[in-house]
Structures are given as C-alpha cells and as structure tokens.
Structure 1
Amino acid sequence: MDLYAASPEELEALLGSWGEPRFRTGQLRRWLYERGVASFEAMTDLPASLRRRLGDEASLGTLSVVAEQHSRDGTRKRLYRLATGERIESVLMPYGDGRNTACVSTQAGCAMGCTFCATGQMGFARSLTSAQILEQALRFSGELKAEGKRLSNVVLMGMGEPFHNYEASLDAIRRLMSDLGIGARHITVSTVGLVPQIRRFAAEGLQVGLAVSLHAATDAQRSELMPVNRRWPLAELMAACRDYTEASGRRVTFEWALIEGVNDDVRAARRLARLLRGVPAHVNLIPLNPTRGYGGAPTGSGGAERFVATLAEAHVPATVRVRRGIDIDAGCGQLYASVKA
C-alpha cells in the first residue's frame, strides 16, 4: 500500500488489522506529513516491529528519483519515474524573502499542444493520481524541514494541464491544505483555458489562485499558439474568468510569454488591456524561455518594460516574472521528460 494514497480511515483500518492501537494512526500521519521523513526507520516513536512490517508491506510513495539538477539561482529540478515507466519533472524554487515554492506536475506529458511549450510538444502519456501530485510537494517539504525551512507555496504549473485531470488535481489541492498545511491563498492552479472546468472550479468555493495561460489577445493569434482556443475562444474564456472572480472574490492571474515580434509590441499590450476590461486581473509577463522545437526568441528587457508601461496606462497591473532555473531547463514552459523509460 502507498501510504500517501491512503486516507486516515484506511490507515486506521490497516494498522487495526495488524493489532495496533488507534493512536498509532495519528503517530504515523505526523511522521508522513508534519515531519516529512523519507523512511520508516526514521519514525522513532513507532515500535521496531511495526516499522519492519511497514517496510515489508507498505511504501512511502510511488515516485523514483532518476536525476536532479541544481541551478545557479538555487532552483532544483527533479526527474521522477513512475511505477508504470513514464517520467515527470517537478521544481523547487527558493526566493530571497524566505519563500519556497514547489511547482508540481499533474500529468506525464500534455494533450494541449501549445506550440511554444516543451511539455506540449511531448504529447500526452497519462494523468497522475492525486497521491502522485501530492508526493512531489511532500518530498520537497520534507527536505526543507530537514534544512530548518518550510515549503510555503505550491503551484500546479508543471507538466500537464491540471483541469484535464480535474478530480485528481482538486483532491491534491485539498490534501495540500489539510495534510501539508499549505493555505489556499498559497496554492495556484494554472490552466490553458478549459472553460467548463474553470466554471466548475469557481463553484468549489476555494480561495486557491487561478492562473490562465493567455499569451495572445486575438482569437486568430491565440488559436495559432494554443490549439485549445479553437474549442473555447476568448469570449467564452473571459466570461468564465469573470464567473471565477465573482464567485471567489479573487482576481485572475493571466500568464503572457513575451515572444519577440509576435506578441510583445505596444499594439499587443493595448489589445490585451481591452480584452481584460472589467475583469479583476493581474498580468504576469514572462520573457519566453527557450525550448526545443520552437524558434521564437524572448523579448528584451526594454520591450518588457514598454509592455508593462502600456498596460499601466490602461490601469492593468502587470509585473515581469523573475526567470528562474533557465540554465537547467526548469523555467516556465521548459519541462520536458522522456515519458518512456
């Protein structure tokens, strides 16, 4: 049994079937989630006989580390192999103010096919379980605790489209809150714009952040960059985003990869400002990160500043995201793992 996939009731039933008292469930869960240890032997207040049996009949997760890379800026990227052979990547980003953000994958590969995204160019292999999504954050959390630090934020922005794996992603979000103690406002889920799922997410009543990968303000250009727009064009997407802001009371973050000569001039900024009129929003600008299979170039710093200034004139708040992990292909849109062993 994968203990990360077990509910408290299932853990209690398992331990009870072994003749253990009920309080062992709480002890075990504290080791799993509050202390985040990586082995049964480290669970020192459990009897040695129980630790041995757990080692024989249970597991701490299903992800096997294949490789890990460290960026000059402190970012860590980890490649995991699933028990079924597929591979995924997850990223830990430390910040100077003490925040530590985990970027987790929800699928091996992605079916959305965005032209500038390395994961989108891989194709789709399979969706992850909620336990596999949670485990990525849990591994980082345990390692940070051993260093005297804590995991402060989690973003579902790794490989895959979270809303194409809605049930597992939502369950993982709820467990990030209940088991790891990550506040809803410190969790963000990203989507390319699956309109029915955005509306469904709005109805969940969570204070979790929503980020929408936008990247273009006309249907023609967005459909070229992001095939999902052919199914749910901008008018439908914006209506769903308004529903989310009304239901949650929170603004939407719109992600915009600045591609030189494609979507980075003053006219593009003005079109974006018109599109967002009436939507509580913040625009997160990311100079395009290089990926295999797409020949676009990132906008220079002057172009990014001009874009921000143009949006500011229209009273649309925007910031240029600090690029992290670029030297190890850990940046936005760069995650690419061979999905077969």
Structure 2
Amino acid sequence: MTTPHLLNDLDTLLADAGKQHGLPAYRVKQVRRWLFEGRAESWDAMSNLPKPLRSKLAEELPLWSTSVARHTAADDGTEKLLLALDGGGRIECVLLREKVRRGAAAAGSVRRTMCISTQVGCGMGCVFCASGLDGVERNLSRGEIIEQVLRLQHRMAPDERLSHLVIMGMGEPLANLDNLLAALADISSAEGLGISGRRITISTVGLPAAIRRLAREAPQYRLAISLHAPNDELRNRIVPVNDKIGIEAIMAAADEFYTVSGRRLTFEYVLLDEINDRPEHAHQLVRLLRERNALLNVIPYNPVAGLPYRTPSREAQQEFERVLTDGGVPVKFRHRKGDKINAACGQLRRSTPAEATPLVIPAPSGSESLGN
C-alpha cells in the first residue's frame, strides 16, 4: 500500500489521523501551524504534540515526498534548491531576496520572493530556456507544489517572512491548473501562509482556454504572460507552441482576465541579441500594448550553457527601452539575480551542474511580477 503524501490532501488526512487516534480538533490545527508557521522539518520538531503521537504520525504520514539533492546560495541572497522527487524526477525552486528602494516606509526593507515549479521539465519548447531542454515528464502534484514553498521556508531566518510568490519555475503552470489552484488555496489560506492573492503571480506562455478558466475561478491572482515576440512569425520561431495558438487569441483571453480581475496585466519579454531586440520589434510592441493596462517586464537574456543565444548590448537595450517609453508603454528592465548559480529567469533545469546544462528561475523586479 502506497503511503499517502500528507500535503496532497492536508485537511482530510489530518482529520482522518485525528479520528484514528482520538485527537481533539486543536491538535490537527497545531500540525498545520507547525508546518506553515513553525516551519517544522519533522514530526519530532512539533514539541507541543505528545511524543508517542509524534512517533505514530511519523510512521503513518511522512511529512515530505522530496529530498534536497542540492542547495546553492549566491552572494546576492538568492538560494536555489534542487529537489529529488519520490519515485524519480527532479525540480528546482528559488528564494530571492531584494532590497526595496522605493517609498520612504519601504526603503531599506527586503522583499523575499519564492519562485516555484509546476512540472518536471516543460513541454512549451521556448528555444532559449533551459527548463524545456529535456521536454516535460509529468505534472507535479498538489503536495509537491506546496512542499517547495515549505522547503524554501526552511532556508529563511526566523524573522524572515514571504513577500511574494511567483509561479515561474519549471513547467507551464496553466497546463497543471487543477493541482496548482488547489496548492495555492492551501498556501494562501489563513491557516497556511495567509499571503494575499495580489502577491501571487502565475506566469504562462499563453494558453487562452486556461487563462479564461483562471479568470472564472481565481481572478485574485496576478497574471503574467511570457510574450517574447510582438508578431506571430517571430513568436512561432521563439515559442513553437504559438503556432497552434497565435498572439491575437492570447491577447483576447488576457483582456477577458483583466475585465474580470481589474488587475494590470504583465507581459514578459526575454530580450535576445539580434533576434527580438530591434527598434522595429519595440514599435510593434507599442502598437500591441499601448491601449492596454499592462506592464512590460523586459528580461535581458540569461545565458544557458549549450544554447547559442546572447544578451543584447547595453546600447541595444537602451534603444529598445526608449522606443517603448516614448510610445507610452510602461516598461521595466529586470536586473539579474541568481544568475551566478543558474537561478535566473530561463536557467532552471532538473539536473545538477555536473549532469547537464543549467536551469533557471526568475528574479523579482517590482511588487508585481517576475517572469519565465
């Protein structure tokens, strides 16, 4: 008989354990608090539970289905975990720390953002991204998504609190929407981390039907669309799945999400030298975005070993930004964080450096979003 993963159905499994052992309801709540607030790494760490009970629960309900295969830290405060999954497979997740510079009250404080994965690998095929180099193996379960957040919390000091959560790691989040929404409901609830939906950003390459479903079921979250090109001809080359979708359909679904949620849209754009970084591309983006309530997050390419793409020159970046700004499009260039440990946008992958090319996760560039 397979041992259930506690985090896959936390409330039901805790309630069943409570009935089996004759526990009062407050004991069940204590376990939840230990996991999300107390950051307990084992049943034995839950010191206000009777010791015999801790031993029984440790046998019946293992807390974790992953193990930390590798922990890497950078001098900018970024930390990355490579997690080995039960039954095989590996994923990466990232904790980013960034000093807040805007606003008198916030100046000098630190924003802590977690970037988590939703699939083992990725099937979208973006040509510049390490996460999809080996294709997609499977969706992550509800519990495996939650577990990344709890594992990263173990890397935080007791006085550190999560500021933002971005679903921008390995995989296409909207291709695993059932498990993702269930996991986010646990994470964001008052009995979880209590993080507001406006501080959670879901990134997608642009799956119109799933975007519309998100608008119906979970408009409290922020939406970021990884655009990467201003026209279908170019996007078909950079993001092959676009050939079956098209920018027009993506923008129509994004407009529906905005109408329902009222939240400003974010579009992500990885800038590739001499591919999508020309002034004419910026002018096309102006025509696409200027009438929309949208922010364009531009990410100068983070190199991936084994791929031929390059970061545009500083001059090309400045000209690209000038055209967008003059055209009235709010734009933010995201500075790199975590690139020294292959934890920047586009670098995440399911391997150790000795085994293959790097993988990457995004770095926060503001209170609203990061990106794939």
What TM-score, normalized by structure 2, do the two folds share?
0.88
1:253 aligns with 2:266: yes
Residue 347 of structure 2 aligns with which residue? Answer: 334
Deviation at 1:33, TM superposition (A): 1.4
3-state DSSP of counterpart to 2:150: helix
- Write out aligned runs for 1:47-66 (5 A): 47-66=50-69
- Distance in 2 between the 1:205 and 1:104 partners? 18
Aligned-pair identity in percent equals 42
Deviation at 1:314, TM superposition (A): 1.2
1:99 aligns with 2:100: no
Residue 171 of structure 2 aligns with which residue? Answer: 160
- Distance in 2 between the 1:336 and 1:23 partners? 41
Return the match for 2:144 from 132, 143, 153: 132
CA contact (8 A) 2:6 2:13 kept: no
Residue 23 of structure 1 aligns with which residue? Answer: 26
1:70 aligns with 2:64: no
CA contact (8 A) 2:131 2:170 kept: yes
Residue 221 of structure 2 aligns with which residue? Answer: 208
1:313 aligns with 2:326: yes
Deviation at 1:205, TM superposition (A): 4.3
CA contact (8 A) 1:205 1:247 kept: no
- Distance in 1 between the 2:248 and 2:149 partners? 35
> What amino acid does structure 2 have at the position aligned with 1:127?
N
**For structure 1, which segment, 184-193 or 32-41, has the greater mean C-alpha deviation from structure 2 after superposition?**
32-41
1:4 aligns with 2:16: no
> What amino acid does structure 1 have at the position aligned with 2:175?
H
CA contact (8 A) 2:211 2:253 kept: yes
Deviation at 1:54, TM superposition (A): 1.4
**For structure 1, which segment, 132-141 or 102-111, has the greater mean C-alpha deviation from structure 2 after superposition?**
132-141
3-state DSSP of counterpart to 1:99: strand
Give me the CA root mean square deviation.
1.5
CA contact (8 A) 1:86 1:338 kept: no
> What amino acid does structure 1 have at the position aligned with 2:36?
Y
Residue 111 of structure 1 aligns with which residue? Answer: 123
- Distance in 2 between the 1:45 and 1:205 partners? 36
CA contact (8 A) 2:92 2:116 kept: yes
> What amino acid does structure 1 have at the position aligned with 2:164?
N
Q: Which runs of 5+ in 1 are unaligned?
A: none
3-state DSSP of counterpart to 2:54: helix
CA contact (8 A) 2:82 2:92 kept: yes
Give the aligned length.
339
Return the match for 1:270 from 270, 278, 283: 283
- Distance in 2 between the 1:9 and 1:224 partners? 46
CA contact (8 A) 2:117 2:168 kept: yes
3-state DSSP of counterpart to 2:55: helix
CA contact (8 A) 1:241 1:279 kept: no
- Distance in 2 between the 1:143 and 1:316 partners? 38
Deviation at 1:303, TM superposition (A): 2.0
Deviation at 1:305, TM superposition (A): 2.2
> What amino acid does structure 2 have at the position aligned with 1:303?
A
> What amino acid does structure 2 have at the position aligned with 1:113?
G
Deviation at 1:60, TM superposition (A): 1.3
Residue 44 of structure 2 aligns with which residue? Answer: 41
CA contact (8 A) 2:6 2:143 kept: no
- Write out aligned runs for 1:216-255 (5 A): 216-255=229-268
For residues 35 and 123 of structure 1, do their structure 2 counterparts lie closer, same or farther at Cα, with a shift above 3 Å needed?
A: same
1:174 aligns with 2:185: yes
Deviation at 1:298, TM superposition (A): 0.7
Residue 313 of structure 2 aligns with which residue? Answer: 300
Q: Which runs of 5+ in 2 are unaligned?
A: 101-109, 356-372
- Distance in 2 between the 1:246 and 1:7 partners? 34
3-state DSSP of counterpart to 2:128: coil
- Distance in 2 between the 1:173 and 1:278 partners? 31
1:123 aligns with 2:126: no
1:150 aligns with 2:153: no
Residue 302 of structure 2 aligns with which residue? Answer: 289
CA contact (8 A) 2:297 2:332 kept: yes
- Distance in 1 between the 2:291 and 2:185 partners? 30
1:187 aligns with 2:169: no
Deviation at 1:6, TM superposition (A): 2.8
CA contact (8 A) 2:65 2:86 kept: yes
3-state DSSP of counterpart to 1:72: coil
